[in-house]
């Protein structure tokens, strides 16, 4: 079985009853895998309005505490982006959303040092139609959008051409599974920041990917089945 995987725009949904300690810890893993330069990295954070402020503050505290620098230096947790165009793209996306009224909770600039570095960044009060949400950031930036109704969160999460990975955090398994089933993604992590599993298929249900690899579906012809990984 052959597969093409060309990118992702993974949503991270936080329902009103989610445990914020567990959720922020999961968000850090989902967002900062390889410094955010991963197709499976969380790209857009949709958080219920009742907890969006506290989620943003906690995530900003965790992101702002990360040590940025060359990967061979002791204690470094976030290395550089792959090249200067990648850093420029991230900077332009952040500048564009700040101009559109979003607030920087931490980061928002390159550090004052040589190299293709960008500070881990959390953006609050991001408008749901912001351009930064329409493309893969591929860097250490977490835009947070608040929602009042879960159907709005599902709609916004599905409003993308990519359908590789999604994440849902909640304190109740039943609505968590309903939301997971409604998301247009080939893999969903329910209260789980990592969905890759050698026993499960890796693939998406929309563009820009094609095919499945691994697991039962990877041995068969292409299907649009969904894999939901649950930590409970």
pLDDT one-digit tens code per residue, 140-181: 999 999 999 999 999 999 999 888 899 999 999 999 999 999
The fraction of the chain above a pLDDT of 90, given in percent, is: 73
Q: Is 5 a catalytic residue?
A: yes
Q: How confident is the model at residue 218 (pLDDT cuts 50, 70, 90)?
A: low
Residue 163 is predicted with a pLDDT of: 86
pTM: 0.90
User: What is the CATH code of the structural domain delimited by 10-230?
Assistant: 3.40.309.10
Strands (E), 15-156: 42-48, 103-106, 121-124, 141-147
Other CB atoms within 10 A of residue 145 CB? 25
pLDDT averaged over the chain? 89
Of these residues, 37, 39, 136, 204, which one is catalytic? 39
User: Of 74, 86, 155, 163, which Cα lies nearest the Cα of 118?
Assistant: 86
Task: Check pLDDT > 70 for residue 9.
Answer: yes
DSSP reduced 3-state for 153: helix
Rounded to an integer, what distance in angstroms lies between the CA atom of residue 98 and that of residue 121? 12
The size of the chain, in residues, is: 232
Quote the CA–CA distance of 188 and 203 in Å, as a whole number: 11
pLDDT recorded at residue 16: 98
Q: Categorise residue 55: left if φ over 0, alpha if ψ from -120 to 50, beta otherwise.
A: alpha
Q: List helix spans (H) across 41-83.
A: 49-64
- Could you tell me which of 129, 159, 122 has the C-alpha nearest to residue 144? 122
Q: What integer pLDDT is reported at residue 32 of this predicted model?
A: 97
More confident residue, 10 or 227: 10
């Amino acid at each position: 079985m052959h597969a093409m995987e060309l990118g992702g725009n993974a949503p991270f949904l936080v329902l009103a009853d989610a445990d914020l300690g567990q959720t922020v810890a999961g968000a850090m893993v989902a967002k900062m895998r390889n410094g955010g330069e991963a197709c499976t990295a969380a790209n857009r954070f949709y958080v219920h309005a009742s907890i969006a402020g506290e989620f943003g503050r906690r995530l900003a505290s965790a992101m702002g505490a990360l040590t940025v620098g060359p990967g061979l230096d002791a204690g470094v947790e976030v290395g550089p982006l792959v090249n200067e165009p990648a850093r420029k793209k991230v900077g332009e996306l952040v500048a564009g959303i700040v101009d559109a009224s979003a607030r920087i909770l931490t980061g928002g600039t390159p550090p004052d040092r040589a190299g293709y570095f960008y500070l881990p960044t959390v953006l609050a009060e991001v408008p749901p139609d912001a351009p930064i949400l329409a493309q893969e950031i591929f860097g250490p930036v977490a835009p947070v959008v608040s929602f009042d109704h879960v159907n709005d969160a599902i709609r916004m999460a599905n409003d993308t051409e990519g359908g590789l990975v999604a994440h849902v955090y909640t304190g109740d398994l039943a609505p968590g599974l309903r939301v997971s089933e409604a998301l247009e993604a080939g893999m969903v992590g329910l209260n789980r920041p990592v969905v890759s599993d050698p026993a499960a298929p890796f693939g998406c249900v929309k563009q820009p990917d094609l095919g499945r690899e691994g697991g039962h579906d990877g041995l068969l012809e292409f299907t649009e089945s969904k894999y939901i990984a649950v930590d409970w």
